[in-house]
Every structure is written in C-alpha cells, then in structure tokens.
C-alpha cells in the first residue's frame, strides 16, 4: 500500500497520516562544441556536458515523549506523588502549587498528553504525547564539464559541481536525540562546491604526465525555527546589551 499509515499511530484512523514522498528528476545534455565551417568542424576538438538534478522528499518522523498530566499543568501534583512517593512528599490534598509566569510560558510550548509511555512503580501509566510529522528535504545539483583536445597528445579537462541541500530536522540537531517536541525544529542548509582541472600529456609512447588541480568547499548553516525558537529569540533580544 502506498503511503500506508505508520506503525507508530497504532493503526488509529483518527491519527494523522503524514505524507511520505520521494521525487527525483533532472536532465543531461552534451556533445561537441562546434560552428560549421568555422570551429571544430570535424567535432574532435572541444566537447561539453551539462546536467541538472532535483530531489524533493517528505520523510515521516515520530516522537514519543512524557509530558505533564492535565492536573500537573494546573500545579496539582497529588496524583504524581501518590503513584511515585519517592520523588517527593506525599501531598494527598488537592491544593495546587502556584505556577510562575515562566512556567506558564513553558507550558504553552509543551503539548498535552494524547497517549502514555512507561509505568509508575504501582503500574499506573505515565502520560505522554505522540507526534508524527513529515519533514521536507530539497536538493539540487548542477554539473558542467568541458573536454578540450589541445593536440593529439595533450587534453585539458575541467569539471564544476554545485549542489544545495536543505532539510528540516524535527528537533534540535545534535542535541538530546529523541527527547524534544515538535515546537522547535532545525533548518539545515548545506551548499557545496567543487571543481577539478586536469591536463593529460602523452609526452612519449612510454611517458605519461597528469597535472590535477582541485577545490572542494562545503558549508553548514543551522537555524532554529518553530514556536519555541521564536520565543527564545524574542527573550534574547530583550536582554541584548545596547
């Protein structure tokens, strides 16, 4: 079945089914460079090759993470302490702990529980959130190559490649893997460039010389995006020195 429901959804028809798609397309063109009756008329001197390729993908990823219960979000930890008394004092009463303004801001970034993960010591299920989304990946590459026969014994070759790769990781990249929500993503941009120039010389029937010059450059740019990242940037701007 194409784009079947992921197993993480528990075969629940109400669970969103993220798209899973892969598209790869491009073209190539090449041949001799010539001008009839003016340049390379015999098509043995200069040749070119050009190609472009694109890739578009959407890859599903999932996160299963424990979150505060609805009672805990209001400051009532009586149930938690009853099930797991070792983590704190037994507060059987329902008096809520005051929630600070900072905690309220953080709670807005933490989704409410929609499933469970793990058990307390007494066997009670621990609330959790299950999220499945598709992250986009785009990639593009251009390649050009020129071959030129200077003489029957000397050939010059030049090749240039440029690619641009961009994706979005559904959590902070190179952070604590698998323990983050979908409220902060990492935009990953990685352009690359390389070229090679080569001169082959058949100096004699028994002597061959090759001169090669090459360059490769890869860059990585990481940008935090999402509600949590925007909140962090706003707070950082408030505290930035003038």
Q: Which two tokens stand for residue 67?
A: 């979150």
Number of neighbouring beta carbons within 10 Å of residue 177: 9
Is the model's pLDDT at 133 over the cut of 50? yes
Task: Specify the pLDDT at position 233.
Answer: 44
Task: Specify the pLDDT at position 85.
Answer: 56
DSSP assignment letter at 111: P
Sequence ranges of the domains in the chain: 17-59+136-239
Determine contact, residues 142/161, Cβ cutoff 8 Å: yes
* Average pLDDT, rounded, for the chain: 78
Name beta bridge partners: 189.
166, 221
DSSP assignment letter at 98: P
Q: Which two tokens stand for residue 4?
A: 């079947």
Task: Specify the pLDDT at position 174.
Answer: 58
Q: By C-alpha distance, which of 47, 61, 80, 15 is closest to 146?
A: 47
Task: Specify the pLDDT at position 30.
Answer: 95
Helical segments of the chain, H only: 70-73, 78-83, 101-107, 227-239
CA–CA distance, 49 with 209 (Å, rounded to integer): 24
Is the model's pLDDT at 131 over the cut of 80? no
Task: Specify the pLDDT at position 3.
Answer: 59
Residue 165: HSE in the Cβ half-sphere, 13 Å Cα cutoff: 8
Is the model's pLDDT at 181 over the cut of 70? no
DSSP assignment letter at 176: S
Residues shown for the chain? 242
**pLDDT for 27-51, tens place per residue?**
999 999 998 888 988 888 999 999 9
Is the model's pLDDT at 202 over the cut of 70? yes
DSSP assignment letter at 7: G
20 contacts: CB under 8 Å, gap ≥ 6: 3, 58, 59, 60, 134
Confidence of residue 238 (pLDDT cuts 50, 70, 90): very low
Is the model's pLDDT at 196 over the cut of 90? yes
Q: By C-alpha distance, which of 150, 166, 145 is closest to 40?
A: 150
Percent of the chain having pLDDT more than 90? Answer: 27
**pLDDT for 80-130, tens place per residue?**
777 765 555 555 555 567 888 888 877 877 888 888 888 877 778 888 888
**pLDDT for 145-158, tens place per residue?**
999 999 989 999 99
């Amino acid at each position: 079945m194409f784009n079947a429901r992921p197993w993480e959804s528990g075969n629940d028809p109400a669970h969103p089914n993220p798209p899973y798609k892969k598209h790869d397309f491009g073209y190539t063109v090449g041949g001799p460079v010539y001008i009839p009756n003016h340049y390379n008329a015999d098509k043995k001197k200069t040749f070119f090759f050009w190609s472009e390729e694109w890739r578009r993908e959407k890859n599903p990823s999932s996160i299963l993470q424990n979150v505060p219960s609805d009672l805990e979000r209001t400051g009532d930890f009586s149930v938690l302490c009853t099930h797991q008394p070792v983590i704190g004092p037994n507060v059987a009463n329902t008096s809520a702990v005051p929630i600070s303004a900072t905690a309220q801001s953080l709670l807005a970034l933490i989704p409410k529980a929609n499933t469970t993960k793990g058990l307390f010591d007494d066997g009670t299920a621990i609330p959790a959130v299950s999220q499945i989304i598709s992250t986009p990946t785009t990639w593009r590459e251009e390649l050009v190559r020129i071959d030129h026969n200077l003489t029957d014994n000397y050939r010059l070759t030049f090749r240039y490649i440029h690619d641009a790769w961009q994706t979005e990781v559904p959590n902070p990249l190179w952070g604590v893997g698998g323990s983050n929500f979908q409220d902060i993503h990492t935009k990953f941009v990685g352009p690359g460039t390389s070229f090679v120039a080569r001169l082959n010389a058949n100096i004699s029937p028994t002597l061959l010389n090759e001169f090669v010059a090459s360059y490769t450059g890869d860059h990585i740019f990481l940008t935090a995006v999402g509600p949590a990242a925007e909140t962090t940037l706003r707070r950082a701007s408030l505290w930035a020195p003038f």
